[in-house]
């Protein structure tokens, strides 16, 4: 398989929050890997910015530590690392004051693409954007990258949008959701819109239901204080799972264009039906052999925040009316897994005896781990024992397809950061899209708060609370097993 490297223009990337965890784990290693692939021009510059007093050499030491910790040994090439570090520098900046801004203005180049990455708390988005504009640093050739959480409800999301819009135009703002940068998520669009095989079947007539799962084996750990103010609904459903739902359910855009694609996603969100209490299951993990309970992790024995949520979602449009979408996400589950399953209906009439087995196809898009796609098809079981039907997968695992000498699958941040430099907003959320997602999510959260609903307890290392199993069993369906 031949990989194609698309060059980018010369750029200056200013990384606010450069000494933080996300910068070390994801952003800086992703930039280095793109440098190694030849996508970061030798004249490009990466400027770290944070409150800490530090010189260039001190920052380069932090970058080196990040590369040692989060880049595979095979890609840690000493000369390449030395060349990459030479392109890194640091400026102490006061996000809410005037310190460091004049020096930053002198450091960035007007002739290069200027990207400002806000790897900071959302409360700093507005002040940073305002100072970039008031100090004359931002210009028409500037791009602004903001991380989630983008608000905690509709009101706060609108305020953040307004704060950013006061200094930047919408076409300059890149709201990042790393799920959209995953190869398999992008392949979902390719499978749907580049193959005549699937699109005619992608509707309520042939699809029985859709399952979207994002399961994690870790607990909330050191994020307990933050997580207890968010919960699974705000932390995962409103953004990650909502985006996967939109890409699965949307209509084909006329062109693979950023605004056309986001227009279609917005239509899906606006077509979502309100949820009833019977369509929602919330859970909290109990104490187990792998760690303390959610209540202990959150240090709040009275907490009603969910570490697990399962939803039955309906879309009121011609394509999907009557086809349920089941969404679930949780902490401390039996396996780390993110996948989308398109479960097709059984054949309308079988020429075989019922005892021979059923035939229902399923298309599974695996996001993590083992990124890939498989299609379950029905065949005759080999052997002379008669016409016995079995379901087998046609499996396309990316690592296998690339072969033993294939390259590592790029991290989602690598693709997304380079798309920012290229000015491609296709995989980023638009402001009205974010607000529409919160407009649907807020009444759900307000409903269970008003009802005083307690989350169900579930064992660590399980598939979630039993009540979530019943959410599907009542409809004569079953969740896909997580422990296979």
What amino acid positions are annotated as catalytic residues?
A: 240
Neighbouring CB atoms inside 10 A of 66's CB total 20
**Which residues have a Cβ under 8 Å from the Cβ of 388 and sit 6 or more positions away?**
356, 357, 380, 381
Three-state secondary structure call for residue 431: helix
Name 398's Cβ contacts closer than 8 Å, sequence gap at least 6.
183, 184, 371, 372, 409
SS3 state at 130: helix
Distance of CA 22 to the CA centre of its chain: 14
Distance of CA 13 to the CA centre of its chain: 22
Cα–Cα separations (whole angstroms), residue 439 to 155, 206, 433, 435: 9, 30, 10, 6
Q: Which of 197, 137, 147 is nearest to 167 (CA)?
A: 137
Q: Angle between the 183-193 and 242-249 helix axes, to the nearest 10 degrees?
A: 20
Torsion sign (Cα): 87, 92, 97, 98: negative
Residue 412 to residue 424: CA distance in whole angstroms: 15
Rounded to whole angstroms, the Cα distance separating 27 from 147 reads 11
CA 99 to chain centre: 34
CB 143 within 8 A of CB 420: yes
């Amino acid at each position: 398989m031949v990989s194609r490297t698309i060059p980018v223009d010369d750029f200056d990337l200013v990384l606010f929050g450069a000494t933080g965890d996300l910068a070390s784990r994801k952003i800086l290693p992703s930039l280095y890997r793109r440098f190694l692939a030849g996508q970061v021009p030798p004249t490009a510059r990466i400027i770290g910015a944070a409150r800490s007093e530090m010189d260039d050499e001190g920052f380069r030491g932090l970058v080196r530590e990040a590369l040692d910790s989060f880049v595979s040994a095979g890609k840690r090439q000493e000369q390449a690392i030395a060349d990459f570090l030479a392109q890194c520098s640091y400026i102490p900046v006061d996000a809410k004051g005037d310190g460091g801004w004049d020096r930053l203005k002198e450091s960035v180049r007007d002739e290069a693409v200027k990207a400002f990455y806000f790897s900071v708390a959302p409360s700093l988005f507005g002040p940073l954007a305002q100072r970039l504009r008031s100090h004359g640093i931002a210009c028409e050739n500037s791009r602004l990258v903001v991380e989630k959480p983008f608000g905690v409800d509709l009101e706060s999301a609108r305020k953040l949008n307004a704060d950013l819009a006061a200094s930047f135009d919408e076409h300059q703002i890149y709201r990042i959701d790393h799920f959209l940068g995953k190869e398999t998520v992008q392949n979902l669009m390719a499978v749907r819109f580049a193959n005549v095989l699937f699109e005619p079947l992608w509707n309520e007539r042939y699809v029985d239901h859709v399952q979207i799962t994002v399961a994690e084996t870790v607990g909330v750990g050191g994020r307990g204080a933050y997580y207890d103010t968010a919960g699974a609904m705000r932390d995962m459903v409103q953004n990650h799972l909502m985006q996967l739902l939109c890409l699965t359910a949307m209509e084909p855009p006329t062109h693979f264009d950023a605004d056309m694609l986001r227009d279609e996603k917005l239509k899906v969100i606006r077509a979502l039906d309100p949820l009833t209490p019977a369509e929602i299951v919330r859970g909290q993990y109990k104490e187990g052999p792998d760690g303390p309970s959610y209540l202990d992790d959150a240090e709040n024995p009275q907490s009603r925040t969910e570490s697990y949520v399962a939803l039955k979602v309906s879309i009121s449009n011609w394509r999907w009316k009557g086809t349920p979408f089941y969404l679930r996400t949780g902490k401390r589950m039996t396996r780390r897994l993110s996948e989308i399953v398109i479960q097709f209906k059984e054949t309308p009439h079988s020429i075989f005896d019922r005892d021979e087995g059923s035939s229902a196809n399923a298309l599974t898009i695996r996001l993590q781990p083992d990124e890939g796609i498989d299609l379950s098809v029905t065949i005759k079981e080999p052997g002379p024992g008669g016409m016995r039907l079995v379901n087998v997968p046609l499996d396309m695992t990316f690592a296998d397809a690339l072969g033993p000498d294939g390259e590592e699958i790029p991290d989602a941040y690598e693709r997304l950061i380079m798309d920012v430099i290229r000015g491609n907003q296709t995989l980023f959320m638009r402001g009205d899209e974010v607000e529409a997602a919160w407009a649907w999510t807020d009444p759900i959260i307000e409903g269970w708060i008003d009802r005083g609903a307690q989350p169900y307890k579930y064992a660590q290392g399980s598939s979630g609370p039993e009540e979530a199993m019943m959410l599907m069993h009542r409809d004569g369906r079953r969740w896909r097993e997580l422990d296979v």
